[in-house]
Amino acid sequence: MSRPDTRRATTLYVLLLVLSPLAAIVIVLLSVMVGAKPISGSVVADAIFSFDPGNVDHQIIRHSRLPRVAGALLIGACLAVSGALMQGMTRNYLASPSIMGVSDGSVFVITLFMIMLPNAGSLTMIVYSLIGSALGAGIVFALAWLLPGGLSPVRMAVLGTIIGTFLAGVSQALSTYFQVSQNVSFWYNARLHQMDPALIQLALPFVAAGLVLALVLARSVTVLSLGDDIAQGLGQKTAAVKALTLISVILLTGISVALAGKIAFVGLIVPHICRFLVGQDYKRIIPSAAVFGGLFLAICDLISRLLNPPFETPVGVVTALFGVPFFLYLIKTKGGGKHG
C-alpha cells in the first residue's frame, strides 16, 4: 500500500471508530421507535429512565425492542469478525460462517440435543451450538485439505455449501420425524424479535473471549494472509495460529447461532468492505468489522420491519438481498481458482 493509500486508510479507520458510537445511538433509537406499533421518542426516554411496569409501551421497549437491537449489534459484530478471521486464515475471499458450513453445524447439533435432551437450559444450548460450530468447520476444512484443489475459493465455498445443505437436510428430517420442527425452525429462520435478554447475558463472556482472542491474533492473521510460506519464513507457527483462529471463529459463530439462529452473508460482505476502507492490516480490519458488522445487521433488521408493514420480513431475506449479488460479484471479479 502506497503512502497516500495508507493515510486514507488511517483517516477512514479513525472516522469509523469516532462516528460509530453516534451511528449506533441513532440506529438504536430508530430500532426502538419503529415497529408494528410506532413509539415516540419521549416514551422511549421514559421507558429507559422512568420505567413503569404497568405501561405496555414500556414493557415492549424494555423486554422486546432493546434486547432485539442489542442482539443485532452483538451478533453482527460476531459474524463479521468471524468472517474476517476465516478469510484471512484461509486466504479465501468467499469464506464466511454461513457459506463454510459452520452455522449449519451449530443448528445440526442443537437439533440432535433438542431431540435427546429437550429440557436443556440456555447455557447448555450455547455449549451445543459451540460444539456444532466446531463440527461444521472441522468437516469442511478436513475435506478441503483431502480433496485435490479443495482449498481454492470457489471449490471450498461449494464444498461448504454442500456440507451445510447436507447438515441442514438431516436436521430438518430429524426434527420432522421426532416432531420438534417447530422448535428447531427458530435456528433456521433468524428471529431477532425473539431475543432472550437472559441468553444475551449468558453469551457475553463467550463473545468477549472470542473478540479478545481475535484482537490478540490480528497481527498473526495479517502475516498468515500473505501465505503459509511467507508466514513460516517470518518465523510464525502457522498451525498454532490457525488453531487459535479457528477457536475464535467457533466461539463467535456458535454464540451467534445460539442467540438468533442462522444469519447468512454478514460474515461475507462486511470484511470485504472493511478491507477496502481500512487496508489489509487485520489490527484495523478486526475492530472495523466488529463495528460495521453490528451496525449492518441492525440496519438490516430495521429494513426488515419497513419493507412490508405492519408485517416483518425475515432479516435473513434482507441480508440475502445484499449478500447474493455481492457473492456473485466476488466470483466474477476475483475468479475461482486463486486465493484472495
- pLDDT of 79: 96
Instruction: Give yes or no for a contact between 293 and 270, defined as CB atoms under 8 angstroms apart.
Output: yes
pLDDT at 339: 47
- Residue 308's DSSP bridge partners are 311
Task: Read off the pTM.
Answer: 0.92
Side chain identity, residue 320:
A
Burial class from Cβ neighbours inside 10 Å (0-12, 13-18, 19+) for residue 179 reads exposed
pLDDT digits (tens, 9 = 90+) for 48-57: 888 898 899 9
For residues 202 and 144, which has the higher predicted lDDT (pLDDT)?
202
pLDDT in tens, 87-141: 999 888 888 888 888 888 998 998 998 888 887 777 888 899 999 999 999 999 8
Q: What percent of the chain has pLDDT over 70?
A: 96
Share of the chain above pLDDT 90, in %: 52
Q: Which of 254, 213, 286 is nearest to 107 (CA)?
A: 254
Q: In this structure, how many other beta carbons lie within 10 angstroms of the beta carbon of residue 111? A: 27
Q: Over the stretch 223-241, which tens digit does the pLDDT of each residue have?
A: 998 888 888 898 889 889 9
Name the CATH superfamily housing domain 67-334. ABC transporter involved in vitamin B12 uptake, BtuC (1.10.3470.10)
Q: Which pLDDT tens digit goes with each residue over 268-286?
A: 999 999 999 999 999 999 9
Residues 6+ apart with CB under 8 A from 296: 76, 80, 266, 269, 270
User: 128-186, pLDDT tens digit by residue?
Assistant: 999 999 999 999 988 888 888 777 777 888 888 899 899 989 988 998 888 887 777 76
